Homo-oligomer: A and B are copies of this chain.
Amino acid sequence: MPPPLHVAFLGGTTGPWETISSTAVVGPGLEPVPRLAVVEGGDAVPEATWTLRGFTSNERYVERAERTSLVERQPGLGRAEAEAAALIPIRKSPAWWDLTQDERRAILEDRSQHIAVGLRYLPAVARRLHHCRDLGEPFDFLTWFEFAPADTDAFDELLGLLRASEEWTYVDREVDIRLMRSPSAG
């Protein structure tokens, strides 16, 4: 388990990722930007149209058997073939945060199979979760996904399953930003 990594996502005119689409799934969207940069580490970041910050942390729900399956199958970020990416910021409702640990786990996995569904799309879809509610940010989580363009349909299927789950009834804001790696203008 690596130590927490602070990551800033900068929407603006620079960065190696070109925006393909930005969709407000639930609640208000984010201002459309041509490019996105991802800055790792806690340092000061350049000005941008918008900046979303979060940190990786210890897993909040994963149990041992699930960790074993995840570690066996989950790829790292930065694979050469993974030229498509998505940044999906979500916020969960106050009702979610009022639940206790056992109730959140029951909804997230026992009834929504969030972890099990995600496993079915490994190793095609690499994923890194960033927490941000505790920073007072506008979203609670920023999830970053990387996959080969040919796996876009599979990725959409994964999102469809999650969005149809009981867990997602607690999502009160979600934006879906699709990107393609395009280093030339970086």
Q: Which A residues form the contact surface with B (CB < 8 A)? A: 1, 3-4, 6, 42, 55, 57-64, 66-67, 94, 97-98, 100-103, 105, 131, 133-136
Contact = CB atoms under 8 A, between A and B. Distances in A.
- 8 closest A-B pairs by CB: A63-B102, A4-B134, A64-B100, A1-B97, A1-B98, A67-B100, A55-B134, A57-B134
Contacts of A42: 136
A1 to B, nearest CB: 5
The complex is assembled from copies of this chain, and their number is: 2
A60 B102 CA distance: 10
A115 to B, nearest CB: 11
B134 A62 contact: no
Contacts of A61: 101
B4 A63 contact: no
A133 B66 CA distance: 24
A100 B58 CA distance: 8
Contacts of A97: 1, 58
A56 to B, nearest CB: 9
22 contacts: A1-B94, A4-B133, A4-B135, A42-B136, A55-B134, A57-B133, A57-B134, A58-B97, A59-B101, A60-B60, A60-B101, A61-B101, A62-B100, A62-B101, A63-B101, A63-B103, A64-B100, A64-B102, A64-B103, A66-B100, A101-B105, A131-B134
Given A1-B94, A94-B1, A6 B136 contact: yes
